[in-house]
């Protein structure tokens, strides 16, 4: 805490430097760091004060032999226990990129129209999650499914520690339900893959040899209206040495789409380099297992019973509707807590 408070003083002094006022990118970076640190300090101070107040309340209850005050203090202690657990968990989010915003790609797998609809349901789920956490969401790329849903999409989710939390979502997600597209009302199983990688800022220098990049332009797709261009403004980039492919079609200008696609590519290449530096034997697509049976990290069962279960941590709930409305914190927290003990693998299904 003392280091954080000292850093806040340094940022405050730096912000008063007139020379910095003409450098908006540096000022923005300082303000972003200041927001992160202030949040950490205020959360810890509030927790510390809460513990002190609870101790006083408990002493008063015991001294006065007051059951109602004792019950009140117990309730406050239970609340503080959860807050303390969350603060302890923040130790896990100390990776080089955990505090950054994140790109999130969703791809429909086996299951045809049903899988495309499932991919669209996941996209809505993550948008609701982002909304609940005051994150900003930008749709960078989307391909409609045949008949319903989406074939794929890429979101940019901006906010403190968006990547640190949503990296828990990388993997294959399985849906079991009565298909609304089946006139015989049969049960169907569908798959979609999710992959998260951190956004990197301009301070991290990543050299990309454009001779190794295949650039393709195409006409943006969408439901119509302002989202569809009459020119080939959308951009897709394929990094030939690594096989990484990114695309962006959200902007009207091909130049702007090209800039965003290049930033996405740099972020993807940086993450791959970080993994190599940490001697991980995983490549960029490590989080994407086969989009089919037996490789899922989480199952969402809507029929014949209601259950969402994470196969890495065994955390589960029967509140499927709440999960689909973005209530992912219990699953993310279970994953982060489990990661304290080392790499997490998918456990065999029951």
Q: CATH number of the domain that 253 lies in?
A: 3.30.70.1660
Number of domains in the chain: 2
Is the domain of 117 the same as that of 56?
no
Angle between the N-to-C axes of helices 2-15 and 24-64, in degrees from 0 to 180, rounded to the nearest 10: 140
Residues 167, 71 share a domain? no
| Strand-pair partners of 309 | 299, 316
Answer with the one of 53, 73, 89 that is the final residue of a domain.
89
Q: 65 and 200: one domain?
A: no
**CB-based contact 310:297 (threshold 8 Å):** yes
Whether 59 and 106 map to the same domain: the answer is no
Cα–Cα dist 293/344, whole Å: 19
The verdict on 83 and 193 lying in the same domain is no
CA–CA gap between residue 90 and residue 233 (Å, rounded): 41
User: In this prediction, what percent of the chain has a pLDDT beyond 90?
Assistant: 56
Token pair for residue 298?
């989480």
Q: Containing domain of residue 322, as a range?
A: 96-350
* pLDDT tens column, 79-128: 999 888 778 767 778 777 888 999 999 999 977 899 999 999 999 999 99
pLDDT confidence of 320, banded at 50, 70, 90?
A: very high
Residues 6+ apart with CB under 8 A from 61: 67, 69, 70, 72, 73
Residues 79 and 113 in one domain: no
DSSP 183: T
Give pLDDT tens digits for 263-284. 999 998 887 777 676 544 344 4
CATH number of the domain that residue 22 is part of: 1.20.58.410
pLDDT at 51 over 90: yes
Indicate if 215 and 262 belong to the same structural domain. Answer: yes
Residue where a domain terminates, one of 68, 89, 110: 89
Asked whether the CA dihedral 55, 59, 65, 66 is positive or negative, the reply is negative
Say how far apart CA 137 and CA 28 lie, in whole Å: 19
Q: Do residues 166 and 223 both lie within one domain?
A: yes
- In angstroms, rounded to a whole number, what is the distance separating the alpha carbons of residues 164 and 96? 10
Does residue 109 sit in the same domain as residue 204?
yes
CA separation for the pair 249, 12 (Å, rounded): 39
- Phi and psi dihedrals of 213, rounded to 5? -115, 125
Q: Which of 29, 62, 89 is the last residue of a domain?
A: 89
Both 300 and 249 in one domain: the answer is: yes
**Bridge partners, residue 299, by sequence:** 174, 309
């Amino acid at each position: 805490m003392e280091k954080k408070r000292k850093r806040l003083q340094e940022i405050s002094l730096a912000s008063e430097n007139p020379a910095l006022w003409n450098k908006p990118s540096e000022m923005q970076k300082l303000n972003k760091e200041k927001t992160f640190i202030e949040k950490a300090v205020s959360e810890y101070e509030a927790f510390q004060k809460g513990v002190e107040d609870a101790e006083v309340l408990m002493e008063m209850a015991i001294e006065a032999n007051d059951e109602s005050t004792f019950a009140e203090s117990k309730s406050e202690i239970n609340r503080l226990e959860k807050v303390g657990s969350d603060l302890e968990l923040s130790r896990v989010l100390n990776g080089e990129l955990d505090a950054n915003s994140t790109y999130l790609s969703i791809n429909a797998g086996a299951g045809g129209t049903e899988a495309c609809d499932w991919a669209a349901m996941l996209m809505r789920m993550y948008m609701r999650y982002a909304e609940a956490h005051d994150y900003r969401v930008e749709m960078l790329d989307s391909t409609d499914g045949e008949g319903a849903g989406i074939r794929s999409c890429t979101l940019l989710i901006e906010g403190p520690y968006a990547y640190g939390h949503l990296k828990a979502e990388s993997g294959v997600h399985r849906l079991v339900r009565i298909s609304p597209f089946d006139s015989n009302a049969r049960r169907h199983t569908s798959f979609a893959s999710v992959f998260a990688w951190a956004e990197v800022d301009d301070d991290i220098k990543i050299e990309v040899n454009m001779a190794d990049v295949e650039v393709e332009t195409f006409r943006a797709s969408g439901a119509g209206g302002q989202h569809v261009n009459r020119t080939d403004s959308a951009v897709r980039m394929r990094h030939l040495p690594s096989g990484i492919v990114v695309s962006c079609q959200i902007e009207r200008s091909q130049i702007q789409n090209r800039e965003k696609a290049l930033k996405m590519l740099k972020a993807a290449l940086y993450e791959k380099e970080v993994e190599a530096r940490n001697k991980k034997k995983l490549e960029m697509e490590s989080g994407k297992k086969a989009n089919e049976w037996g490789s899922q990290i989480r199952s969402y069962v809507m029929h014949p019973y209601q259950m969402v279960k994470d196969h890495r941590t065994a955390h589960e709930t029967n509140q499927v509707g709440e999960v689909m409305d973005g209530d992912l914190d219990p699953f993310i927290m279970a994953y982060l807590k489990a990661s304290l003990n080392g790499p997490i693998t998918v456990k065999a299904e029951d």
